[in-house]
Amino acid sequence: MSENKFTCLHDKHVAQGALMSPFGGFDMPIQYAGIVEEHNAVRNAVGVFDVSHMGEVHITGPEAQKFVNYIFTNDITKMEVGGIQYGMMLYPDGGTVDDLLVYTMGENDYFLVINAANIDKDVAWINEQAVKFDVKVDNQSESYGQIAVQGPEAEKTMKAVLDIDCTDLTFYTFKLVNYHGDNIIVSRTGYTGEDGFEVYASHDTIRDMWDMLMTAGVQPCGLGCRDTLRFEVGLPLYGDELTPEITPIMAGFGFFVKLDKEDFIGKDVCAKQKAEGAPKKLVGLELHDKAIPRHGYEVCNENDEPVGYVTTGYRGISVDKSIAVALVDAAYGKLGTPLKVHIRKKYFDATVVKKKFHDKSYKK
C-alpha cells in the first residue's frame, strides 16, 4: 500500500485537532466537534467540508459531447452551458465504474467530478474508451482543491464570508467566478440533502477560503457526518450502494439512466433489467429494535436464510431509528416485507421501507 495523500488543507485539519483517518487514498478528517454536532450543524445551520480529495477530469475536443454521452448514463445533450448532471459510468455488464457529476463548461467542453478512491481507475477507463474518439482527456485532480459549504444558511454564508453572491444559481447549476484573480467554479450542489455549494479552486484560494470560514465561526465538518447526512436522504456512496456488481437499476437510480438516448456503455443490461426486473434490489430497512445494522451484515428472510447484505447502516441522527440500506434478492424488495438483520449473535426484525429516510431540502 502506498502512503495516503494529503489534501491542500491537511495541515489545517491536524492543527485544528480533527480526528484523521484514511479514505479513498487520502488522510482525511473524520470529525472535529463530533459527528452528531457536525451533522446537526449542516441540517440546521451551515457547515464546511474539505472535499479536495475528489477527482476532476477535463474532457475537450471535437467529439467531447459524443464521447461523454457514450461513457455516461445521463443525457448530456439536454444540458446547457452552466448545467450539471449526475449519473454513472458503467462497465459493459452494467456494473458501476463510478458515479459522477458532469459540468458543461462550453461546447464540447466538460468537467467531470469523480470519487477520490476511483481516480486512477476512472482515468484509465476513460482513456481506454477515448481511443475511438477525437478528444483530449486531462486529469486535473491534483490542481484543484474543493470545499463544500452545506446547510440552510449556506447561501448567506457564501455572501457574508466569501463575498460570493449565489442567489442566481439554481440547483445543479454553476458559474465561473474571478476570485481575486483566480478562476474558480462555484456550483449549487452537495452530498448532504441540504441546500449548499461546492467550490473548485486552486489550493491557495481554497486555503484562504477555509481560513475565512473558520474565522467566521462556520462549523468544520468531517467525512463522518458527510456519510450520515448523505445516507439519511438516500444518496449512494460508491463502494457501498454502487459497485462493479451493482447496476444503477438495482440501486434504484434508473432516473439517471437515459435509455432513450443513443448507445452508451452498459445500456443493454440496464434496458434488460428495467424491462424484466433486476435480480437484486437496493432497499431501505427499518429495524424494530435499537441494535445498529452495519455495512456487510447479513440480511435474512423470516426463515433466517441469507437474502442479502447491509450496504450502509446507522442509528439515524435526524431520524431517531436504526436504519439501513441493503442489497437483497429482488423477491424481498417490496415495501413492507419483513426481513431480519444478523447483528453479532442475534437476528433482529426489520421491515423494508423507502431508502430515503429524511426529506431533502434543496433550493430548486
Partner 1 sequence: MSKIIDGLYYSESHEFVKVEGDFGYVGITDYAQHELGNVVYVDMPEVDDEVEAGEDFGAVESVKAASDLVSPVSGTVVEVNEALEDEPGLINKDAFENWIIKVELSDKSELDGLMDAAAYKAFINE
Nearer to partner 1, 57 or 291 (CB): 291
Identified binder of partner 1 from the candidate list 59, 292, 307, 326, rule CB under 8 A: 292
Residues 215-274 that bind partner 1 (CB under 8 A): 224, 228
Nearer to partner 1, 73 or 228 (CB): 228
Residue 309 buriedness (CB in 10 A; 0-12 / 13-18 / 19+): middle
Say how many residues touch partner 1, by CB under 8 A. Answer: 18
Identified binder of partner 1 from the candidate list 14, 36, 124, 331, rule CB under 8 A: 36
Strand-strand pairing, 47-50 and 219-221: parallel
Identified binder of partner 1 from the candidate list 156, 290, 354, 360, rule CB under 8 A: 290
Nearer to partner 1, 247 or 322 (CB): 322
Contacts 24+ apart (CB under 8 A), 158-162: 158/186, 158/197, 160/216, 161/212, 161/213, 161/216, 161/218, 162/199, 162/209, 162/212, 162/213
What is the C-alpha separation between 222 and 231, in angstroms, rounded? 15
Other CB atoms within 10 Å distance of the CB of residue 207: 18
Q: Determine, following the binding rule CB under 8 A, whether residue 311 of this chain makes contact with partner 1.
A: no
Identified binder of partner 1 from the candidate list 23, 49, 67, 314, rule CB under 8 A: 314
Positions of E strands within 25-131: 26-31, 47-50, 55-60, 84-90, 96-106, 109-114
Nearer to partner 1, 35 or 209 (CB): 35
Q: Determine, following the binding rule CB under 8 A, whether residue 322 of this chain makes contact with partner 1.
A: yes
Q: Determine, following the binding rule CB under 8 A, whether residue 28 of this chain makes contact with partner 1.
A: no
Question: In the complex, which residues of this chain contact partner 1 (CB under 8 A)?
Answer: 19, 30-31, 34-36, 224, 228, 290-292, 294, 314-315, 317, 322, 343-344
